[in-house]
Chains A and B, each alone.
Chain A
Amino acid sequence: MKIDFTHHQSAHCENGVVSNLLKHKGHDISEPMVFGIGSGLFFVYIPFLMVNHAPAISFRPMPGFIFKRFAKRLNIKIKRYKFKNEEKAQQVLDSELKNNNPVGLQVGVYHLSYFPDEYRFHFNAHNMVVYGKENDTYLVSDPVMETTTTLTEKELERVRFAKGAFAPKGHMYYPIEYPEKLNLEKAIKKGIKSTCRDMLAPVPIVGIRGMRMIARLIRKWPVKKGVKVANHYLGQIVRMQEEIGTGGGGFRFIYGAFLQEASVILKNPKLADLSIEITEIGNLWRDFAIDASRIYKNRSSKLDAYNKVADQLVELSNREEVFFKKLRKSI
């Protein structure tokens, strides 16, 4: 069986799945709208935790939070399943598909056969939509891919039951109940407020203060850990920032698109100006990535170079502090 489902490519998987599922039900909600209302912009440094043998930094909230908050702020009810048993997980999925219901799935990236090898890491918070099954092959709409793909029963079972941090445990979800009319205005304001609160939080490891903490660490790394490790850490920041969910520059641009859309809906021209400002900040994030990548490409061991990217990060945190304070006042 095949459900009539339209695939739209998106920049980030979680927003993309939500947006695609809602579009399927006739609610035209764009990816940036999901991202903004769900407060997808975030920064956190988690001390002591190592990911891929480097400090854990995240440019996004916990997996699933964007969707959770988005649904809550718009009063959309979501049905969620998690499974202990692989067979049961497949049965429930099949019966949902029979009921003409495309579902969102949380999966691990490592065993995703259609991803290029180099991109297959143990990252368990990827999202996709399954919209049909032909014989023993599932029809998959992975929002980061340009077109739809397929996975066999066995392959899908593997990715649904990937292990490690954030193990998906067959997590499956889909919206079941909508209010008569989606109250976007209220939800947008809530989403913006919550993002401002997070980014300006008086906590040393979160938001702009978290960035400053990382900047301080970058200065220390080459001395304390040696150039090789410092370069590896720096490389991981860039990967977290631009690769895994397009955190730094990419997310700022999605947020810019959101503010532009929001300014029309709320009839608030200030948001359009702020959209331009966050776009500029996004460009600076990209410059940071370029300069950081230069360090580990040339293996330049000059302390200067590390201090320079650290300065850039401090500058970014200052710009964002001003930006989020203005944003908070503008709504």
Chain B
Amino acid sequence: MKKSEVPQDKSNLESANFRELCYAVDENGAYITANSSGWDPKTIALNNAIKEINERIAIAKNNVLNKKTSPIEYYMELHKMDLPILASYVGMWQWRVKRHFKPSVFKKLSQKQLNKYARVFDISLAQLQDIEL
């Protein structure tokens, strides 16, 4: 990549006001560093991934409202987590967390267990029990 080819496309980096560092060659073939404000293929890939996550969140939300799953699954998706990650944050086995996705099991969870989830998601107990708050 030549210095003049270092991409300066619009990207999500702009919102945080920073540019990333790239290595490129100058006119004499010597390596230098240059800042890049973003690159379209990367932005597309990232936006694609975010869209994917938003779809998962929407599905989870729908399932919660239809009482097919508990709010825990919704908040898990909202925090871009998957089962292994959530299980390790709350310090429980994956199968236990998965069981808590069942609305019937979720209803019977103790305050202590609910608190664990609320702390991980950084929300109040009321919010944990009702996702529309």
Residues of chain A touching chain B, judged by Cβ–Cβ distance below 8 Å, are 9-11, 32, 50, 52-53, 110, 114-122, 144-147, 163-165, 167, 231-232, 235-236, 238-239, 242-243, 246, 249-250, 253-254, 256-257, 260-261, 275-276, 279, 282-283, 286, 289-290, 292-293, 296-297
Contacts and interface: CB of A to CB of B under 8 A. Distances in A.
A110 B1 contact: no
A246 B23 CA distance: 11
Given A144-B21, A253-B23, A282-B1, A260 B49 contact: no
A146 B30 contact: no
B42 A116 contact: no
16 contacts: A9-B21, A32-B23, A52-B49, A116-B12, A117-B15, A118-B50, A120-B80, A122-B81, A163-B89, A164-B89, A242-B45, A246-B20, A253-B22, A286-B1, A286-B41, A297-B48
Contact of A163 (B40, B48, B49, B88): B88
Contact of B12 (A50, A119, A254): A119
A249 B1 contact: yes
Given A163-B85, A279-B25, A296 B44 contact: yes
A238 B45 contact: yes
- Interface pairs A-B: 10 shortest CB-CB: A293-B41, A257-B31, A116-B16, A253-B23, A164-B85, A163-B88, A238-B45, A118-B12, A163-B89, A235-B48
B23 A250 contact: yes
Given A53-B82, A121-B80, A256-B23, A293 B40 contact: yes
Nearest to A232: B52
B46 A146 contact: no
Interface of B: 1, 12-13, 15-16, 18-25, 29-31, 33, 35, 39-42, 44-50, 52, 79-82, 84-85, 88-89
A293 B43 CA distance: 9
Contacts of B18: 145-147
Contacts of A167: 88
Given A163-B88, A167-B88, A254 B23 contact: yes
A118 B11 CA distance: 10
Contacts of A232: 48-49, 52
Nearest to A111: B122
Given A116-B12, A122-B81, A146-B18, A239 B23 contact: no
Contacts of B81: 122, 164
A121 B21 CA distance: 20
A276 B29 contact: yes
Contacts of A120: 80
Given A122-B85, A283-B1, A238 B23 contact: no
B32 to A, nearest CB: 9
B41 A238 contact: yes
A239 B45 contact: yes
B41 to A, nearest CB: 4
Nearest to B79: A110
B18 to A, nearest CB: 5
Contacts of A239: 42, 45-46, 49
